[in-house]
Structure 1
Amino acid sequence: MQTTRTFVYGVLIGILGIVLFSSKAVMVKLAYRYHVDPISILLLRMLFSFPFYVVIAYLYRNENSGLVVRKKDYAWVVFFGVIGYYLASYFDFLGLTYIKASLERIILFLYPTMVILLNRFFLKQPITKIQAGAIALTYLGIVIAFWDEVAISGNDTYIGGVLILLSAATYASYLVGSGWLIPKFGVMKFTAYAMIVSCTCVFVHYSIVNHVDLFNFSWQVYLLGFLIAVFATVIPSFLVSASIKMISSSNFAIVAGIGPISTIILAAVFLNEILTLLQLFGALVVIVGILLISLKKRDANA
């Protein structure tokens, strides 16, 4: 039976992973200032990440969860690797060329609802009252925090919004698949395998459609690519997988509500995007929503 301590640790690990992931949007926007296109910065992200995942896959190659792993399970790993960090990342990076980092997060935050609905319809997992209430509270906090961002206009903004929405849908599918496959493969092996697939997809994509000289960027672009790879990809990818294993993908989706809030704070610091008192109040509401599932879980195990 899942212990309260395990659940709380899972929530804290999930929060750390989400905050690190949130830094990606800010660093990508910083990279765009140096005239780099989305697929090139995505390629740098995956190039710097790839060696880490290969080494980890090798070190954990004999890890055994005790469950039977069939050939079709490996096929699912490939599938979720393609949609989870290749398509989701590509849509996200492309969408960020059209909209602000803070607006990207409010649209991307639709994925928690998608995760819970996908779990309900495909894995037959019930939606609890606690989850529904926590989601409602975190959404309320997001609406408050981004009150000035809701009124969008202009064709470019709509294009960016659709791309980010596609990113949310593909990432939600990945999280659902993670919750199902991680117990079979183990956290480290599943994450490494899925990310190697994603990296390979990016390499193939770049070689086919992009003719930019990869060795002709400014040093700032390479530095940001490395930082995105290590601190906004490798480390949080394992933290997220570990969190999903400890608290379930549905509960992790609620914890992910901290993502938009951390993004607006980072965007205010590094991109000079405006951070208002209303946004700070919204952040508090989101945090209360996240604490709700943690405290309720503690009460259930008391």
Structure 2
Amino acid sequence: MSSLNLPRATFWAGFAFALLGAVFFSAKGIVVKLTYRYPGVDAITIISLRMLLAAPFFMVVAWFQARKAKRGLIPRLTRKDSLQLVFLGFIGYYLSSFLAFLGLQTISAGLERVVLFLSPTFVLLITAFYFKRPIAPRQWLALALSYGGVVCVFLNDLSFSGDAVVLGAGLVLASALCYSVYLIGSGEIMARVGATRLVAYAMLVSTVFTLVQFFWVYSWQGLALPWPVYQLSFIHATLNTVVPTFMIMWAVARIGAPLTAQLGLIGPVSVLFLAAWILGEAITPLQLVGTAFVLTGVLVLGKRPKVR
């Protein structure tokens, strides 16, 4: 059913879920930057506490999904499915997040979110060169706009933060590339496994990798952290991870993936103003121009709903 033909209550519920999910998910950079202000906190600690506190929620979802599979209501996982879920959990929710959090040590929350929005263009390039699919002129325009916008925001951060921003932006760029591989890889398995089970299982796989790394590096002593770190991590795990994950799923179920993706463009814009309000990061004209270019590029890249 077209989003134009949906009942009013269903449409506006999906609309609200998509907007709030995008804002909450994008705001994770703000929470991460606040957490870095405490001594003894690094990227390993942040991602570990996030996954440790979010895991119980995903365990409940995974348990219900396993029960449904046991009753024959949904297909059981094959060995191939299980291996794919391990890979997707590693690259999509562990490695991608870890690289992004490393990058946030030296770049602004606004630049991090703008660079991560290059994921759709990476998906386009990977499918073009790996799967030999031609790139249309409209898509080349989208690529030019997106990368031009990132250059603008990058130059803005470079003028304020110095050479360290180069390494930080590179790490976040690698994060966006990892997440693009996750998006491509999840497309095939999602049709068999389902979005809910895919997210829950991949998140739990990521939790295992994350905690193994944490305890290998810091052992149990690494949990001796100031109480505010746990408070911020709980916000990160719930409002910036669990809640937006399900909000976006609910939005897709109500208004479809294309409109949900387009409403997700509010994310980078919201981060600019949240970072200015909470972190005191300056909003410059160059930053606004760069963000506008990236958002326009993603809009051009996406499929617009047909109006009848």
Q: How does the TM-score come out when normalised to structure 1?
A: 0.80
**What residue number does 2:92 align with?**
84
Cα distance in structure 1, aligned partners of 2:156 and 2:165: 15
- Structure 1's 196 and 120: CA in aligned 2 closer, same or farther, altered over 3 A? same
Cα distance in structure 2, aligned partners of 1:175 and 1:19: 20
Cα distance in structure 1, aligned partners of 2:251 and 2:125: 19
Q: Among 241, 257, 262, which residue is 1:247 paired with? A: 257
Cα distance in structure 2, aligned partners of 1:258 and 1:150: 24
Within a 5 Å distance, the mapping from 1:210-289 to structure 2 comes to 210-211=218-219, 213-240=221-248, 246-247=256-257, 257-277=265-285, 279-280=287-288
Cα distance in structure 2, aligned partners of 1:289 and 1:168: 16
For the residue of structure 1 that corresponds to 2:221, the secondary structure is coil
Q: Among 33, 37, 40, which residue is 1:29 paired with? A: 33
State which drifts further: 82-91 or 158-167.
158-167
Cα distance, 1:98 vs structure 2: 2.2
2:33 corresponds to 1:18? no
Cα distance, 1:193 vs structure 2: 0.4
8 Å Cα contact 2:262-2:302 kept in structure 1: no
Cα distance, 1:179 vs structure 2: 2.5
**What residue number does 1:75 align with?**
83
Within a 5 Å distance, the mapping from 1:153-164 to structure 2 comes to 154-164=162-172
**What residue number does 1:172 align with?**
180
Cα distance in structure 2, aligned partners of 1:18 and 1:261: 10
**What residue number does 2:198 align with?**
190
Output the amino acid matched with 1:206.
F
List per-residue Cα deviations over 1:60-87 (Å, max 9, x = no partner).
Answer: 2216787785321221111010011111
Cα distance in structure 2, aligned partners of 1:53 and 1:201: 15
**What residue number does 1:57 align with?**
62
List per-residue Cα deviations over 1:220-244 (Å, max 9, x = no partner).
Answer: 1111100000111112233455667
2:120 corresponds to 1:112? yes
Gaps of 5+ in 1: none
List per-residue Cα deviations over 1:195-240 (Å, max 9, x = no partner).
Answer: 0000111011111122463442222111110000011111223345
Cα distance, 1:15 vs structure 2: 4.8
Cα distance in structure 2, aligned partners of 1:274 and 1:197: 38
List per-residue Cα deviations over 1:99-134 (Å, max 9, x = no partner).
Answer: 222232333333221122234455666655655555
8 Å Cα contact 2:156-2:287 kept in structure 1: no
For the residue of structure 1 that corresponds to 2:225, the secondary structure is coil
- Structure 1's 254 and 128: CA in aligned 2 closer, same or farther, altered over 3 A? farther
Cα distance in structure 2, aligned partners of 1:232 and 1:201: 20
State which drifts further: 162-171 or 78-87.
162-171
Output the amino acid matched with 1:49.
A
Q: Percent identity?
A: 39
Cα distance in structure 2, aligned partners of 1:121 and 1:146: 26
Output the amino acid matched with 1:159.
L
8 Å Cα contact 1:106-1:146 kept in structure 2: no
8 Å Cα contact 1:116-1:253 kept in structure 2: no
Cα distance in structure 2, aligned partners of 1:157 and 1:148: 10
List per-residue Cα deviations over 1:124-166 (Å, max 9, x = no partner).
Answer: 6665565555555555555556662355875533322222122
Q: How does the TM-score come out when normalised to structure 2?
A: 0.79
Matched positions, count:
296
State which drifts further: 145-154 or 88-97.
145-154
8 Å Cα contact 1:131-1:254 kept in structure 2: no
Output the amino acid matched with 2:119.
Y
Gaps of 5+ in 2: none
Q: CA RMSD in A?
A: 3.6
